[in-house]
Amino acid sequence: MYKEPYHFSLQRFIEPEQFEALKDYVSDLPTPVLLIDVEKIRQKYRELNQSFPMAQIYYAVKANPQDSVVNMLESEGSNFDIASRYELDQMLRLGISPDRLSYGNTIKKPSDIKYFYDHGVRMFVTDSENDLKNISLLAPGSRILFRILTEGTGADWPLSRKFGSHSDVIYYLILQAQQLGLQPYGISFHVGSQQRDIGQWDDAIARCKYLFDAAWEEGIELKMINLGGGFPASYVDPTYGVAEYAAEILRFIEEDFGDNMPQLILEPGRSLVADCGIIVSEIINITRKSKNNLYLWVYLDVGKFGGMIETIDESIKFPIYFDREGMADEIILAGPTCDSMDILYENYKYHMPDTAMPGDKVYIFTTGAYTQSYSSVNFNGFPPLRAEILPKHIRL
């Protein structure tokens, strides 16, 4: 079989000097470990803020709930989108004022609504009549954002089918909210995470415009659009940058709303934190399962249950670097647990230099989002993915 030299564009993800410093730093760290560059998250936050100067940012805490990440974003002026009373407890513990919080989860128990209201939260997102009625009883007078359904087309990690309702239902909920003494405040949507088709915002914004107009005819003035998350991070497949996303999205809004610009909210998760984390892992074993198999099986000490759940259906393709030179083997990558689902990539073939050996460290880039917060507690006895903040002299 003809082989090519192993190639990986390391400098797309880290400066070569920084990589040397990183290697030094991790040489005696136990693996797997997630290392987070908080200063880089700060830069990403500022970049997003500059690209959307008129929008308020509500960081989606679930992407990376580390206290130090939340604290830093608070100091930069961020607000927070939270989804459970446990995230609320964390925000309150960190001293974040409830007027900087939005309860963005449409799936909530009455007792959750009461808990949020009792702790001062006054912004709620809904997509159903039962939930709206519960909010009117337990969080009277609150601001309501109505979540519309989007298709999730074009997203590497679509999540929208579960959330939101069609405009016909939402229209009715807006009128009902007014009657129930709530403040029908705006429309929210999420076009799907790692959304690579900017045009998806165009469709959703057009639906917002339709609902703004329909509500206005009934004497209700909606004021806000929540543009959701979905902004990109740098995985194997390149995307446009946040500035390009912003320019296009703002143009869509201007086309529909002209001088009557609504207030805007963003709820970034992935795009703020993914590029700012790296998982350092170790090769446990490399095997060929029969003499004539084309592919090597490579087992890492991190897998689906240890933080890489977004490899389900090979949806998110993390950039994976083997720090050796040699000819490239095509590999199947799997995690360390005794569950046959714990295979990372089988259809999409990653490359590994043929000089790689068990015991080598492996560098998995763009792992700052949806990794540690997703890792299992005790499956096969493996502890959840450990995370550390990188010392300031090493930058991703």
Ligand X SMILES: *Cc1c(COP(=O)(O)O)cnc(C)c1O
272, β-bridge pairs: none
- Binding to ligand X by residue 228, rule CB under 6 A? yes
Nearer to ligand X, 23 or 196 (CB): 196
**Binding residue for ligand X (CB under 6 A) from 229, 262, 303, 319?**
229
Q: Which of 388, 368, 243, 273 is nearest to 41 (CA)?
A: 273
Q: How far is the CB of 275 from ligand X (least distance, A)?
A: 12
The 8-class DSSP code of residue 275 comes to G
Q: How far is the CB of 125 from ligand X (least distance, A)?
A: 7
Nearer to ligand X, 231 or 365 (CB): 231
Q: How far is the CB of 333 from ligand X (least distance, A)?
A: 24
Terminal-residue alpha carbon distance, the chain: 36
Residue of minimal Cβ distance to ligand X = 229
Selected range binding ligand X among 59-67, 92-100, 115-123, 245-253, rule: CB under 6 A:
59-67
- CB-side neighbour CA atoms (13 Å) of 184: 26
Q: Which residues contact 286 (CB under 8 A, 6 or more apart)?
A: 296, 297, 298, 299, 356, 357, 358
Cα(258)–Cα(266) distance, integer angstroms: 20
Question: 383 vs 33, 301, 302, 334, 376, CA distance in Å?
Answer: 11, 12, 11, 18, 8
- Binding to ligand X by residue 268, rule CB under 6 A? yes
Q: Which of 76, 122, 125, 83 is nearest to 99 (CA)?
A: 122
- Binding to ligand X by residue 269, rule CB under 6 A? yes
The backbone torsions φ and ψ at residue 4, rounded to the nearest 5 degrees and listed phi first, read -110, 160
- Binding to ligand X by residue 230, rule CB under 6 A? yes
The backbone torsions φ and ψ at residue 107, rounded to the nearest 5 degrees and listed phi first, read -110, 100
- Binding to ligand X by residue 231, rule CB under 6 A? yes
Nearer to ligand X, 44 or 351 (CB): 44
Write the DSSP assignment of 303-327 as a string of letters. Answer: -GGGT-GGGGGG-S---EEE---SB
Selected range binding ligand X among 2-10, 14-22, 249-257, 266-274, rule: CB under 6 A:
266-274
The backbone torsions φ and ψ at residue 272, rounded to the nearest 5 degrees and listed phi first, read -85, -35
Label residue 47 exposed, middle or buried (CB < 10 Å: 0-12, 13-18, 19+): middle
Number of residues that bind ligand X (CB under 6 A): 16
Q: 281 near 300, Cβ under 8 Å? A: yes
Nearer to ligand X, 174 or 227 (CB): 227
Selected range binding ligand X among 6-14, 239-247, 264-272, 378-386, rule: CB under 6 A:
264-272
Is it true that the peptide bond before 32 is cis, omega within 30 degrees of 0?
Answer: yes
- Binding to ligand X by residue 108, rule CB under 6 A? no
Nearer to ligand X, 205 or 283 (CB): 205
Nearer to ligand X, 205 or 333 (CB): 205
Q: How far is the CB of 165 from ligand X (least distance, A)?
A: 14
Selected range binding ligand X among 56-64, 86-94, 278-286, 360-368, rule: CB under 6 A:
56-64
Question: 136 vs 121, 178, 179, CA distance in Å?
Answer: 14, 10, 10
- Binding to ligand X by residue 271, rule CB under 6 A? yes
**Binding residue for ligand X (CB under 6 A) from 14, 22, 52, 62?**
62
Q: How far is the CB of 267 from ligand X (least distance, A)?
A: 4
Selected range binding ligand X among 3-11, 134-142, 261-269, 376-384, rule: CB under 6 A:
261-269
Per-residue binder mask for ligand X (CB under 6 A), 138-177, x = binder: ----------------------------------------
The 8-class DSSP code of residue 5 comes to B
Nearer to ligand X, 65 or 104 (CB): 104
The structure tokens listed for 163 are 């959330």
Binding stretches for ligand X (CB under 6 A): 60, 62-63, 81, 104, 190, 193, 228-231, 267-271
